[in-house]
Structure 1
Amino acid sequence: MSEIMQRERQPEFYFWIHSLIRKYVEITLDIILIGLVFVTFVFIGKTIYNLAENIYSEKTDIAFIISEIMFVFILIEVVRLLIIYLQYHRVAIDTMVEISIVSILRELILNGVLHTRPVVVLATSVLIIVLMLLLRVGGIRYRLPDTYPEYRPFFKKSHRSLGR
């Protein structure tokens, strides 16, 4: 009887290999994701530089400026998605849906709604409505654990400044 209990307490050899491989794969993925965060920051900087060049040029294209600003928002959401994955090792589906909605709207603005075929505009509208319903009704919103840091404003309003 004691021999059976000792066998049950000792993990099988392949479980040890699985945990070791999983550990190194997770470390490798974390390093890759940190690299992706840095690359995304480079893209954000490059986009802001191109945006500033376009604003101060003689010929300013408003649609291009709006689409570049939306592209910066998309990249910021991608960084947020990568950070959530690094912290919790889970993909935030709601953030991915939000990124896809903003990306679709950016492409519509970039191509111009007036220059897009009506069937494409209708199909895009249906896709956006389905994605919004998926966010609202689908229950894919993931609530972060209580350990996730809350938003704290950088500048706090002091009670003295409110009274004056």
Structure 2
Amino acid sequence: MMQLLKDLPVKPVKRESWLNLGRIVQALELVQDLIVISLCIGLFSFMVLQIWTMFLSLIPPIHFHVVTADILSLLILVELFRLLIIYLQEQRVSIGVAVEVSIVSVLREMIVRGVLETTFMQVLAACAFLLVLGVLMVLRVWLPPTFEGIDPEQEVSRRYKRRLAKEMGHSDF
């Protein structure tokens, strides 16, 4: 009985022609790219305003605390901009850049607040968080980006593109 079921020809399920998943996915990816581009433009504009504010804060009397906070905030914004650019180019979030943004953000808060003004538990938590992020950075360098030469994301992408090409080849458009 099982052999008879295995020998039966399997007909592929034909989807309705109005529901083309390939086109829907392409449209959603386009919208997502437009959102990321608008984020890039907004972030770049905010960085320009931040630089202008930073230059105005350099007019005497100079408050080093404010200038240091502005410079560190600008570094965080630059890293976030770099993260968005990498996403636009490669369609992925760079783990290394995300970890770098986290490290700079934590250090900025510790520097701006002052280590002497924060509680012992907050300093201990920040140190543990920075230690974990440092370990992530080291592991990211030592571990290869692929598993035995096969990048799982690229394999999934190849399968998706093959399936999409097959659907486009069989469609009635």
The TM-score with structure 2 as length reference comes to 0.70
Q: Do the aligned partners of residues 77 and 141 (structure 1) sit closer, same or farther apart at CA in structure 2, a change above 3 Å counting?
A: farther
Aligned residue-pair number: 137
Which structure has the higher relative contact order (CA within 8 Å, separation 6+)? 2
1:63 Cα deviation from its structure 2 partner: 2.1
Residue number in structure 2 paired with 1:41: 44
Question: Counterpart of 1:87 in 2: which secondary structure?
Answer: helix
Q: Which runs of 5+ in 2 are unaligned?
A: 1-8, 147-173
Letter in 1 for 2:54: L
Map of 1:129-144 to 2, 5 A cutoff?
129-138=131-140
Greater radius of gyration (CA):
2
Map of 1:103-122 to 2, 5 A cutoff?
103-122=105-124
Residue number in structure 2 paired with 1:72: 74
What do the CA deviations read for 1:103-156 (whole angstroms, capped 9, x no partner)? 00011111111111122111101110110101102557859xxxxxxxxxxxxx
Letter in 1 for 2:70: E
Question: Counterpart of 2:93 in 1: which secondary structure?
Answer: coil
Question: Counterpart of 2:46 in 1: which secondary structure?
Answer: helix
Residue number in structure 2 paired with 1:162: none
Residue number in structure 1 paired with 2:93: 91
Letter in 2 for 1:41: F
Aligned residue among 96, 100, 105 for 2:102 = 100
Question: Counterpart of 1:137 in 2: which secondary structure?
Answer: helix
Matched, 1:53 2:56: yes
**Cα distance in structure 1, aligned partners of 2:14 and 2:111:** 58
**Cα distance in structure 1, aligned partners of 2:144 and 2:109:** 25
Residue number in structure 2 paired with 1:123: 125
- Structure 1 runs, 4 residues or longer, greater than 3 Å off: 10-14, 138-143
Residue number in structure 1 paired with 2:165: none
How many percent of aligned residue pairs carry the same amino acid? Answer: 32
**Cα distance in structure 2, aligned partners of 1:90 and 1:99:** 16
Q: CA RMSD in A?
A: 2.5
Q: Do the aligned partners of residues 142 and 41 (structure 1) sit closer, same or farther apart at CA in structure 2, a change above 3 Å counting?
A: farther
**Cα distance in structure 1, aligned partners of 2:126 and 2:102:** 11
Is the 1:44–1:75 contact (alpha carbons within 8 Å) kept by the matching residues of 2? yes
**Cα distance in structure 2, aligned partners of 1:128 and 1:45:** 29
**Cα distance in structure 1, aligned partners of 2:144 and 2:64:** 34
